A and B are shown apart, each in its own frame.
Chain A
Amino acid sequence: MRECKILVRSPADAVQSLLFVVMVVTLFPLAISPDPSVLAGIAAGLIWVVALLAALLAAERGIQADFADGVLEQMVLGNTPLWLLCLIKAFAHWLSCGLPLLLITPLLGTMLALEALEIYWMLASLALGLPVLSLFCTLGAMLTVGLDRSSVLLPLLIAPFLIPTLILGTQWVQSGGQSFYGYMLAALLSLSVVTLPLATGVAVRIAVSR
């Protein structure tokens, strides 16, 4: 509940992610080629990579401020299970970064000359994959909170773990929706939801003890 209140009070964060994504997607046709066939070929991967970058950029939102204000210590000391609070933090990350991206994907797909069916699979893969990114980004943020240059450190640490999601997501779109990838993504999502909040809880305790 608290997380939602924070989000609602500063919609600027979500807008920031959106603008970043649109800006980067705009850069690629300019840099590579405006040819629709070329763009359609790279679109799936491009949108996924941009989603990754946006998620990494947004990872520290809320968590750095919470560390500075001592909210993280309250989390550790409180009655609510720590893993639940971490899950909520990841959900907040998804709300502020993943959901806007999901909503704007049809626009991005059109900019990159994707067919309607491909956009549909893009949405499906992002719908399953973005929560996984959010979970990993929250974990990374908790591991690096309070450290020097944490904003540079975090992408370096978390990027390798995001690679399986990236591969599965892009393959799902590029293969035209073969259900195998969908099942694998769903499996990855379920595993992540169950295990990552626990690991994030451990990270919060470590962060608080700094």
Chain B
Amino acid sequence: MWQWFHEWGSPKAFYMRSGKMLPWLGFLTVVLLSAGLVWGLLLAPSDYQQGQSVRIMYVHVPAAILAQSSYVMMAVAALVALVWRIKIADAAVQTAAPIGAMMTLLALATGSLWGKPMWGTFWIWDARLTSTLILFFLFVGVLALRSASGRGRNAGRAASVLALIGLINLPVIKYSVDWWFTLHQPASFTLTERPAMPVEMWAPLLVMVLGFYSWFAFTWILRLRLEVLQRESRADWVQRVVSS
């Protein structure tokens, strides 16, 4: 099994194999996202409390889920890059950071838009929003450190260390923010779990979540392929690929 990992670890093998995968992944993404969007935005029932504005949930919730899991994925790639020094993993960290940051920004923005009709305000310092904002800063930090580090062989190592420290600190931060909020939560304001959703509402949500994951994988692989081409630009196989 380790052999399979090592095979994927070579930039050229990754490029060739992912090239075959990519059109299928793209097709899957388009299918899932369009089905999810049509289903969620048009066909699913509207909430009896919130009316039509609940439909933002179909973009906001997947974005938030992806924001958090993409950080974890990036940090795992960072661990692989640091410990086993696999170049693909280093490129993976570099390419995942901007996607994750945009995802977090999307989650924050759609959440803001949803907040106005639902809770009457664009922003509030509750536990989840504050944690997501901090997650955004963590992503930006990794991005900034990466871009400041330049293009050497060891350039990505500092950013990988930062991503890992971020991962370890993430539970600490979430815990302390959660708890900071419960101390200050005004009594009349309940931001607890939404009531259990009927199937007609969580089914399109599931499709959207899967669609977002598939989109993330597609975009990440696409960017990773470009990064691999750039890094290995002096190799023969790259010349052949580019000239063909």
Contacts and interface: CB of A to CB of B under 8 A. Distances in A.
Contacts of A160: 134, 137-138, 141, 166, 169, 173
A210 interface: yes
Interface stretch (B12-20, B176-184, B219-227): B176-184
A52 interface: no
Contacts of B175: 164
Interface in A141-188: 143-144, 147-150, 153, 156-157, 159-161, 163-164, 167-168, 171, 188
- B contact residues, range: 20 to 34
A39 B167 CA distance: 36
A72 to B, nearest CB: 14
A79 interface: no
Nearest to A203: B161
B144 A163 contact: no
Interface of A: 139, 143-144, 147-150, 153, 156-157, 159-161, 163-164, 167-168, 171, 188, 199, 202-203, 206-207, 209-210
Interface of B: 82, 134, 137-138, 140-141, 144-145, 148-149, 152, 154, 157-158, 161-162, 165-166, 169, 172-173, 175-177, 179-180, 183
Given A160-B166, A163-B173, A168-B176, 14 more contacts: A143-B158, A147-B145, A147-B149, A157-B145, A160-B141, A161-B169, A164-B169, A164-B173, A164-B175, A167-B177, A202-B82, A203-B161, A209-B154, A210-B149
